[in-house]
Amino acid sequence: MPDDVTRWSGTADTVRLDARSVRGLAHPLRLKLLGLLRTDGPATSTTLATRLGLNTGATSYHLRQLATHGFIVEDKDRGVGRERWWRAAHATTYIDRAALSGEEAGEAFLRSIGQIYAERIQRAADEYSTMSAEWRVATSLSDWVLRLSPDEPRRLTGELFDVLSRYRRHVRESPASAPPDAVRVMAQIQIFPHGDPATGGTP
């Protein structure tokens, strides 16, 4: 994520991960649960378990962990009896990479992110044949191998985020600004050394 969070998120409603709080997100299922609550709105553990094909015990445990670390809060305006609804406490997440350097939990968090990104790409590939012809043309799974100095990826990331910011960020509460045929689209950016890790990716 960019260092200038507001440029990307357009809001101050951002949680900043540090060496302590990252432990609450260092699990793929927790990242998925938080993502669903952010994009689809408040839900119960039962609803989320159904969405993810899991049992409610697993989702309830990880929801409690997310709540303990302040990523989600109970939505007390919903629910009947003992039913508990949860909502995301923040709209976006900022990774304090300097604070997480060398942290085991930070590495686990990054591996979880990588797993989820890979699953998304695989799902897109699996669904490609069922897409409409229009969306098959519009979809892109592309990569480039570049030769960059250490400071250039930061500038490149900032420029890419500026481009994405010119398009409509998905906001569940206000979809009216989008055209009638607009659907939710996932855009992922990964920039990393590629090659021999001992030489920082230099072939």
- 21 — pLDDT class (breaks 50, 70, 90): confident
CA distance 111 to 106: 9
pLDDT at 6: 36
pLDDT bracket for residue 8 (50, 70, 90): very low
Residue 8 is encoded by which pair of tokens?
């990307």
35, two tokens: 């993502």
3-state secondary structure of 132: coil
pLDDT surpassing 90 at residue 127: yes
Q: Hey, what CATH topology would domain 5-199 get? A: Arc Repressor Mutant, subunit A (1.10.10)
* pLDDT tier at 1, thresholds 50, 70, 90: very low
- Mean pLDDT value across residues 115-136: 94
10 Å Cβ neighbour count for 104? 12
At which residue do the structure tokens 């989600």 appear?
72
Rounded mean pLDDT of the chain? Answer: 85
Helix (H) or strand (E) holding 117, with range, is helix 104-127
Is it the case that residue 196 has pLDDT exceeding 50?
yes
- What CA–CA distance (Å, rounded) separates 121 from 127? 10
DSSP three-state, residue 69 = coil
pLDDT per position as a tens digit, 30-67: 999 999 999 999 999 999 999 999 999 999 999 999 99
Percent of the chain whose predicted confidence (pLDDT) is above 70? 85
Amino acid at the residue 130: T
What pLDDT is attached to residue 4? 38
Q: Are 119 and 186 in contact (CB under 8 A)?
A: no
Sheet with 85-88: list strands edge to edge: 43-44, 85-88, 72-74
Write the CA distances from 159 to 2, 155, 164, integer angstroms: 10, 6, 9
pLDDT of residue 198: 57
Q: How confident is the model at residue 83 (pLDDT cuts 50, 70, 90)?
A: confident
More reliable by pLDDT, 137 or 96:
137
